[in-house]
Amino acid sequence: MLVFGGIALNTIFWFVPIFVLGILKLLLPVPAIRRAVTRILMGMGEAWVALNSLLLATAGSIDWRATGIDTLRRDEWYLVLSNHQTWVDILVLQKVFNRRIPFLKFFIKQELVWFPFLGLAWWALDMPFMKRYSARYLARNPHMKGKDFETTRNACAKFRHTPTSVINFVEGTRFSVEKRDRHKDPYRHLLRPRAGGFAVAMTSMGELFGAILDVTLVYPAGPANFWDLCCGKHVEVLVDVRERPVETWQIEGDYENDREWRRRVQDWLGEIWQEKDELIQQTLDNRESL
């Protein structure tokens, strides 16, 4: 309970100045001022993550080990691709990457910008908002086809001036054996990767990314839930980070209209996910043999 209370108080403490500066950023639409306020806000976000991580390391019982993070840079642009096991993943990734790369940002549905209080905070922290139309809507309004990607690209234009890290949980949801079996996914420890989110990120701001960070999260004792973590249950997590180059073909495609490019993206992600699945199995086998 100490961990939960500490994280709650830390969140409230930082939310207030972030919200106030968000209003200031909204009311002063001068690019230079907004960029300066954004840098302050990113620093606040990193301080929030640092204190959360300290609480987990001292009041909680978590053993996190990461490889492949020594050459990362805070002045670079990254797309982070990760498997998704539990909501604890977010806390783990924030801890591992905090102040090693730019503050992690998530693609958020554009409609959520109007969510009370949080919408402004997300906007102030430069979370990239994405617009997606359903297939049914596009069938009724064919003239809007492609507009969602255009809207997202325009929203990401501001990242040209500030180093940015965008994270994408490619599976779209947390892993479970039941989900894997129901969808007949061809992996032991993963769900089939969805290419749409990757395509949105690459076609929106792919030319900015200096590298793709391929992250594999492994919980040797099984995925932990947040409440167990707050109650002091010991959690062990291994984080494997591999830098992959951004290739020209990944940026220049059209996911909606180019079937060949869409298949190439899906095959590329499938190969990475196969490697990731084998890495998880090898890690678990090595732990059992000790």
Contact 81, 198 (CB under 8 A): yes
Q: Find tokens 């076609």 and name the residue.
A: 203
Question: So what's the pLDDT on residue 268?
Answer: 96
Residue type at position 101 = I
Question: So what's the pLDDT on residue 234?
Answer: 86
CA distances from 73 to 103, 164, 210, 242, 246 (A): 11, 11, 10, 14, 16
Calpha distance 100→215 (Å, rounded)? 15
Residue type at position 168 = N
Could you tell me which residue, 160 or 44, shows the higher pLDDT?
44
**Burial track 71-108 (b if 16+ CB lie within 10 A, e otherwise):** ebeeebbbbbbbbbbbebbbbbbbbbbbeebbbbbebb
DSSP secondary structure code for residue 232 in this structure: T
φ and ψ at residue 62, rounded to 5 degrees:
-130, 135
Question: So what's the pLDDT on residue 145?
Answer: 67
Mean pLDDT of 235-247: 95
Mean pLDDT of 83-97: 93
Mean pLDDT of 145-151: 66
Count how many residues are written for the chain.
290
Question: So what's the pLDDT on residue 66?
Answer: 96
Calpha distance 25→52 (Å, rounded)? 26
* Percent of the chain predicted with pLDDT > 90: 53
Mean pLDDT of 204-220: 93
The set of residues, in sequence order, having a beta carbon less than 8 Å from that of 36 and lying 6+ positions away, is none
Each residue's pLDDT tens digit, 101-119: 999 998 787 777 787 777 8
The per-residue pLDDT of the chain, averaged, comes to 88
* Percent of the chain predicted with pLDDT > 70: 92
Question: So what's the pLDDT on residue 127?
Answer: 85
Q: Write a three-state SS string for 76-112.
A: CCEEEEECCCCCHHHHHHHHHHECCECCEEECEEHHH
* pTM (2 d.p.): 0.89
Question: So what's the pLDDT on residue 82?
Answer: 96
Contact 156, 131 (CB under 8 A): no
